[in-house]
Structure 1
């Protein structure tokens, strides 16, 4: 008994040491990733996503992405404590990745306790397989797109819970427990399953994977003969539970054809049929990148396949059929190898089958499927080398770990910022529009306007039907004050996408800057028609109505802006100006008073209220307001001029003279100040 305890302790210490090695090696590989910037979909889902930026706004974040509530909740908490500090996001992603790698280590160990595999390998070989499967997974460069790319925490989290659920299932099937503990573990299995499901949809394959675990690792004999054996009820109950979940959430709309995606350079509608053909052609690429992860790219240029006769489709189909044949062939000869291959196909089936997705290929889709392939490849190496060439085997595996770690470290350099990432993508996908767009975005954020225009223009050369590129380039032209080119690009954007509300809005801004107020009003009105809740459009339309002298319409629009945002200072000021022009001075002063309570340092408030008091012949109040402006800005020329005028009316000529002299000193071009000064001087001598 004592010897058994000692052996168990040694076994536990060895496992801890191996896990420690995994942590150290993985940390070194990812040590340069913790300051990598936000990228790509991070902006829509985190940085610019108001729905997840208030932990207390339950309805907003809970309903933002109903199928991914668990993973999105982690971003809500992350944002609550860190806002846009990337370090903590990367830290959480890294911890999830480490936990997943540790779970894979125990998962592989547990596989060899199953009835089919329990006498298959020596303990030393099992440890070697478990350790190297986990560590190669941990440092595989393909993992960077699920670890360093912050939003793909969704993928990593789903994988972590997926492996955890399978581990619990294996424990339930292998170990003997009393009914209470068995019930508790069954509950934990269900919890992990649903945590995986609500992290990302690719976890929906979990129950099929559990079925495969049962058939491949707990059954002897032929595949189909095992259906009648015991424990089918347990598995069936789980299947019914998951089937209920799938039926509840399932919608045939997932098979709905998707419009051509100009970002990818696709001219065809994406259907279940051509998406399936395309996936046949890319499955070999997924496999190649898992085994030999070279030429990584955030945005691979994969053409949509439309015919079975395509050589890429035929080659992919041949490989898929060959691998499925190997699953059958090795079922009796090498069950674990067979299981590793089928793992890949099950794990990738959601994203690589008949459910059309706009992006036909992404590296992060290999994160979960790669586990089976890594295990299968290591098993082949071990079978050939472990008994007779053990040192060579360990040397080969260590070389793979070192090379993978080096490649991961280098790949993380590419992920450092948006410019480095999309420069890499442009070099590797030179005929795809989207990398140029995103590189243009990156330069725009850095205020390198000419570079931004250069890359937006290159994207347009590749695809002139991509509305957002015209929109982005127009924004840059606007920032440069080139409103004619901006208007031309906004016009192109709305001709491609007539429902592009912000393009109408921004074109309205450009028209307003070029004093084409009627055209600006028309564009703001179209923007409001498309989105009645777009209150900035009401405000800016109000400004153009003001410029056109349509004061009542301006007031109506400023009313809407203020109702939406009662603290909108400038809306109060401009509504006050509209009232001022309508000679409704009391209403104007009320608006200026309200603006002052919100922003007491705003000069325009006092200037316009001073004019209102002046119109009401309340010269003392007018002088007081112009004086406040001068205390805020001693170089505000017109404040001196207007205060001088009010002093003049009150007969306080010395004060008026002092103000007029200041005006002339600050801006000699104001000839009226000289005229008034002369009058005041003349009156003081009488």
Structure 2
């Protein structure tokens, strides 16, 4: 029996995928928590007690994404808020998905429809390896990998690809052995069902998984309709998991799918048609990023379109229709027994892209019309298609030139990913980059102002916050930040003016109420301060710091018995802060002296 050539050895390929992924993200391990990480991780008390998460609040907190948040809770259990551990897990998920992409493409090329008879022109090692290397090295993936809480999208993709792979493996064994109910194929089939369930409990984007399985069966296997139904029905039933998880949720589905919290969400009321029209150029932008990853941005200022007659909309629609038509044409041509197997693989990859992008880029309005991490799952199909198309350009033969070009492309992408991760390296660099690329959008300027304020650069922070108020005059957060900055500078009148406007714009913004209470207290306007603190306490009844501030205000009013009550509440809610206990002892001592 001849030994396999080095180029086709499985362990070497898996090693290459891991090494390229590790190199591309080698400078991402210290990227701080950013954007929605604050509410989902840093201040999320649900994930900070693993026992409570598993047996009490965890499932109720977000039943639709339970598995994703479980991994976050495990990260916190073993590393607290040390960000490195979260990035290690994210990268492990990313590399694992790259390996599964390789395995999926590899077994697909071994299916009866695609298996080559001419071993001299065999590309069964090149297409899977190139597709996987494109996946792990491409800079468009940085938002799904480096932005910690987008682990939810990455984890759903991991289970999604695992499910399709296990299904394909089960069917391949059945085809080869002719024993559909033998132990080994049955095991892979059950693993496929389990992975499908896990994907749908990680993020709602996995809703399309059963449809992709049907596509996979239709394109790559031959079986009677009755037997197809027998195998596809259990997988098809998993489509109910996401809708059932949404039962009892009173929020619009677009808000549920959205990845940005209410605090940072763009205020937008899009109709279904407006969202659909806008998504045509958005998907075209995703395709452009896959081919030419330039001018990436964490917060695009993307125009909303209201008519099919807009030039960008109609041109993008023609592009997408042409691409979809190409996929159907390639499938039709691939039915010829003499056709290159790459044709059907290209068709599959394109159809995968369109099917998986449909959850977030169709008629379900999501306030933020574009985010790069939304192309993470669709990119699996896109990269398989690109690798197969590249093989076709070389007429199905893997020459030294083809390998050299592929290596250059992967290296260039990996270096670009390193460069993009350097932008993610700090809040200042990330939001500075976003503000330069989206100069007319308020949110990047606001987040840049926050980063500047954290760095102690108050004057620069104030300038950016003022820009944010001009661009988004109805947003309360920039006014809150302006008031906070004035308070730090000791200008309490200006602080009160800005914070009063913030509270008026958003009466539920507890942070602004607390800051306004602080400004009143420092001006010795104690009754006004008490009103704001009590309003904030209604919004955040478990926030120990608010109870402590109310206690301080009562102490300043010489009402030490009431101060002691609120200091006691603060100490009970947060026993780890010594100041709460110390102030409680002082208030109790003073009350006894009275």
Shared fold, TM over 0.5:
yes
Per-residue deviation, residues 428-485 of structure 1 (Å, max 9, x unmatched): 1111111111111112222222222122112112111110111122222222222112
2:293 aligns with: 293
Matched, 1:27 2:36: no
Q: Aligned ranges for residues 589-608 of structure 1 at < 5 Å? A: none
Report the CA distance between 1:332 and its aligned residue: 1.4
Task: State whether residues 64 and 202 of structure 2, in contact with CA within 8 Å, keep that contact through their aligned partners in structure 1.
Answer: yes
1:196-595 alignment runs, 5 A limit? 196-219=199-222, 228=225, 230-240=227-237, 242-251=238-247, 255=252, 268-333=268-333, 334-386=343-395, 390-534=399-543, 536-548=545-557, 557=566, 561=570, 568-573=580-585, 575-576=587-588, 579=591, 588=592
**Cα displacement (A) at 1:131:** 1.0
Q: How far did residue 47 of structure 1 move?
A: 2.0
In 2, Cα distance between the equivalents of 1:527 and 1:141? Answer: 42
Distance (Å, rounded) in 2 between the aligned partners of 1:48 and 1:562 = 18
Q: Where does residue 66 of structure 1 map in the other structure?
A: 63
Query: Is the counterpart of residue 164 in structure 1 residue 162 in structure 2?
Result: yes
Query: How many angstroms apart in 1 are the aligned matches of 2:72 and 2:92?
Result: 14
- String of CA shifts for 1:473-498, please: whole Å, max 9, x gaps: 22222222221121111111111112
> Are the counterparts in 2 of residues 263 and 432 from structure 1 also a CA contact under 8 Å?
no
Give the counterpart of 2:34 among 31, 36, 39: 39
Native 8 Å contact 2:173 2:185 kept in 1: no
CA 1:315/1:264 → structure 2, altered by over 3 Å: closer, same or farther?
farther
Alignment CA distance shift 1:170-1:485 (3 Å): same
Query: Cα distance, 1:119 vs. partner?
Result: 3.1
Deviation per residue, 1:586-643 (Å, 9 max, x gap)? xx1xxxxxxxxxxxxxxxxxxxxxxx3xx8xxxxxxxxxxxxxxxxxxxxxxxxxxxx
Whether contact under 8 Å (1:297, 1:424) holds in the other structure is yes
For 1:199 and 1:256, the matched residues in 2 are separated by 16
Give the TM-score taking structure 1 as reference length. Answer: 0.77
Q: Distance in 1 between matches of 2:117 and 2:272?
A: 42
SS at match of 2:49: coil
TM-score when scaled to structure 2?
0.88
Larger mean CA deviation between 209-218 and 499-508 belongs to 499-508
Is this contact kept in 2: 1:262–1:465, CA < 8 A?
A: no
Moved more, 41-50 or 140-149: 41-50
Distance 1:299 1:404, change over 3 A: same
Q: Is the 8 A contact 1:274 1:306 kept in 2?
A: yes
- Alpha-carbon distance, 1:267 to partner: 6.4
Residues 397/48 of structure 1: CA separation in 2 closer, same or farther (3 Å cut): same
Aligned equivalent of 2:93, options 96, 108, 119: 96
Listed one character per residue, the Cα deviations across residues 61-83 of structure 1 (whole Å, up to 9, x for unaligned) are 34332211212111211112212
Gaps of at least 5 residues in structure 2 are: 334-342
Structure 1 residues 546 and 279, CA gap change in structure 2 (3 angstroms): same
**CA distance 1:170–1:286, change in 2 (3 Å):** same
Partner of residue 104, structure 2:
107
CA distance change for structure 1 residues 565 and 19 in 2, over 3 Å: closer, same or farther? Answer: closer
Structure with greater Cα Rg? 1
- Say whether the 8 Å CA contact 1:265–1:432 is kept in structure 2: no
Contact 1:101 1:135 in 2 (8 A): yes
Q: Is the 8 A contact 1:255 1:355 kept in 2?
A: no
- Identify the structure with bigger relative contact order (alpha carbons < 8 Å, sequence gap 6+): 2
Contact 2:266 2:367 in 1 (8 A): no
Classify 1:560/1:322 alpha carbon distance in 2 versus 1 (closer, same or farther; 3 Å). Answer: same
In 2, Cα distance between equivalents of 1:532 and 1:388 = 67
Unaligned runs of 5+ in 1: 220-225, 580-587, 589-611, 616-686
